[in-house]
Amino acid sequence: LRYKELKLPSYKGQSPQLSLRRYFADLIAIVSNRFTLCPSARHLAVYLLDLFMDRYDISIQQLHLVALSCLLLASKFEEKEDSVPKLEQLNSLGCMTNMNLA
């Protein structure tokens, strides 16, 4: 298992939106609690978001969608099929959380 972990891409912390990381990590935590997802799904979602933010500079509205997509992907890996949130549910949350952070 440790050998597999060494192959994972590393987080460099060089995101142009690094100041927003805390907000999006909190958003993932709140949404994962709302759907009672396991902690490993939440951690994987934040890890995926970190990797994405390290490599891309996109608008804040798009970053909301990316954060929710990371949570969806992570829950598909870590949760049972019936515990995975539906895309429509996450989409409605994405519309509600799309506030102006600039």
Phi/psi for 28 (5° steps) reads: -60, -40
Please indicate, yes or no, if residue 1 is contained in any of the structural domains: no
Please indicate, yes or no, if residue 54 is contained in any of the structural domains: yes
Please indicate, yes or no, if residue 76 is contained in any of the structural domains: yes
Please indicate, yes or no, if residue 79 is contained in any of the structural domains: yes
Q: What is the value of pTM for the model shown?
A: 0.79
Q: How many domains does the chain have?
A: 1
pLDDT given at position 83: 83
Please indicate, yes or no, if residue 5 is contained in any of the structural domains: no
Looking at residue 71, which CATH number applies to its domain? 1.10.472.10
- Going residue by residue through the chain, which has 102 residues, state the pLDDT in tens, using 9 for 90 and above: 567 656 667 767 777 788 899 999 999 999 999 999 999 999 999 999 999 998 888 888 889 889 999 999 999 999 888 888 887 877 776 555 554 444
- Structural domain boundaries enclosing 64: 17-97
DSSP string, 29-81: HHHHHHTT--HHHHHHHHHHHHHHHHH----HHHHHHHHHHHHHHHHHHHS-G
